[in-house]
A = this chain, B = another copy of it.
Amino acid sequence: MLKIKLKEESNSALYLQLYKELKKKIKSELESDTKLPPIRKLADDVGVNPATVVKAYDMLADEELIYKKVGSGSFVAPDRKIIKSENGEDMLKHGQIKLSESINFASAAPSTDLFPVEDFKYAINQVLERDQGEAFSYQKSQGFLPLRKSIRKYLTKRGIDSSLNQIQVVSGAQQAIDIISKIFLDYKDQIIVEDPTYFGALQAFKSRKADIKCVKMEEDGADLEEMESYLKKNKIKFFFTMQNFQNPTGVNWSQEKQLQLLELARKYDFYIIEDDILSDLYYNQNRVNNLKELDDQGRVIYIKSFSKVFMPGLRLAFIVLPETLLPEMLEAKYATDISSGGLTQRAFDYYIREGLLDKHISLQRNLFKKRYKLMKNQIINNLPNEIKITFEITGGLYFWLKLPEKQDAQKLYEKVAQKGLVFSPGYLFSNNNRYSNYFRLSFAAVDDKQIVRGITLLRDIYNEFRGTAKNDDYSPLL
C-alpha cells in the first residue's frame, strides 16, 4: 500500500499534492508496470474525494508517467530515464533503451535545480500585484520600457554604452538570430560564420537561403587571413560570431584579433553579429571583453541571452543595434510575433532591479568554475591521450574534443548512448559535414559525480570502440 499524507492547510490544491507525491514514488520506489491502487481505495486511504484521485492520475497519464488499461486500472509506465537534449527533445525514444542512470554531456543548458525559482516566483507575484492586467496586455514591440532601462544599466556596467532606442527585447537568442536574418538576408546573400558554429544559427541562415562561407576557428579567434581573402572577392552582409567561449569550441577571441576584426569590418563594410551567451562565465581572469565594447563605428549588433546562466525556458534576450536599423527591427519583430511576453519582461526587470541577476550570475560562475576544473582534470588524466582537447579554454560550458582522424564521433555517440551517456557529435556544428572526428562535452547539466562517472564510462567505451579495450585502472566512483 502507498503511504501518502497530504496537508489540508497547504497552499497547493489536494490533487496537485497527490500528483507530486505519486510522481516522487514513481520516480524512486515503484517498478515499471506496478498497478496503482484503484481510485476509490486510494481516495479512502488518503482521505480525499475520488475526483481528486482521478485528477492526479489524469495528470500523471498526460505526462506519460502512468498508463491506463480499460477495465483493469492504472499502471506505472515502463522505466525510461529519458535524456533531454538542449532544447528539451527526448534524445532516446520511449522504451528503446533501458538505462541504469543517464549522464548528459550534450545539454548546454544548466540543470533545473540551479534555477532561482523562489526568487523569480517572488518577482512574478510582486509584478502581478503591481501591474495587474497590464502585465498580460500587448507590450511595445521594442520591449517593456523599464526593462530596457534596466538593460541599459546592466550594459553600462559591462562597458557597453547604448541608448534606449538601441535596445530591442526578444524571445531568446534564437529569435534574435531569426529576426536579424529577416532584416538582412535575401536569397543568395553572402555571410560568413565561424567554423564550427552553433547549428541553430546555421538553420536560421539557411531558412533565408543565405550563401554561407565558413572560416575556421583558431585558438584566439577565427582565421582572419582566410576571412580577408574571401572578403577581397565577395561582398558579405555580416559575420556571425561568438567572441567569448564560442560554441562549440570554447575559444575566447584575443583582443588583438577583436581589433583586427573591427578593422576588417570597416575596410570591407559589413556588420558583425556578436552572439553573447557565456561571457559571464570566465574562470581564469577578471572578466573578458565583448566585441561590442570595442566597437566605435556602430558595426556590431550585439545579442545577449540569459538562457545559459539563468533560465532557458524564460525565452528572453535582447539585441543592441545601431539606431538607424530600429525601424526595420521593429517591423521584423512585429512580423515575427508582435512582442515578447509581458509578464516575463516585467518579472525579469524586477529581478534585475533587485540586484538578483548579478548575484545569481556570480553564484553560477563559481559553481561552473568548479565543474570546469574537475572536467578538465578528468579529461586530461582519465581519457586516452589520443583524445585531445582541441583548444585551451578558460570559461564557458564545454570542451571541444578531437578523436584520431578516421574515427567517427557519431558512431562513438551511438555506442555510449546505449549506456546512457550522451554528448554532441561534431557534425552538428558544421555546415558541410566536417568535424566527423570531433565532439563537444558540456558540463552544464551534470554534477561532480556524473562528470567522473561519465568520463570513466566514455574512456571504457572508447577503448572497446577502437578495439583496444583495457579493463584495469577504473577510477573510483565519487
Contacts and interface: CB of A to CB of B under 8 A. Distances in A.
Contact of A338 (B11, B124, B174): B174
A146 B59 CA distance: 7
A16 B125 CA distance: 12
Nearest to A336: B178
Nearest to A349: B62
Given A334-B203, A339-B88, A341-B171, A112 B129 contact: no
Which of A111, A117, A204, A209 lies at the interface centre, i.e. has the most chain B CB atoms within 10 A of its CB?
A117
A140 B91 CA distance: 11
A112 B137 contact: yes
Contacts of A38: none
A313 interface: yes
Contacts of A128: 117, 121, 124
Which of A87, A187, A340 lies at the interface centre, i.e. has the most chain B CB atoms within 10 A of its CB?
A87
Contacts of A334: 87, 174, 200, 203
Interface in A170-194: 171-172, 174-175, 178, 182, 186-187
A298 interface: no
Interface string A338-363: 11111110000000010000000000
A165 interface: no
A112 B134 CA distance: 6
A19 interface: yes
A263 interface: no
A132 interface: yes
Interface string A55-72: 100010011100000000
A78 interface: no
A133 interface: yes
Interface string A132-151: 11111111110001100100
A220 interface: no
A210 to B, nearest CB: 12
Given A87-B140, A88-B339, 20 more contacts: A11-B129, A16-B126, A63-B146, A84-B137, A87-B141, A87-B334, A88-B141, A112-B134, A115-B132, A115-B137, A117-B128, A120-B136, A121-B128, A136-B311, A174-B336, A178-B337, A186-B187, A200-B334, A204-B335, A315-B337
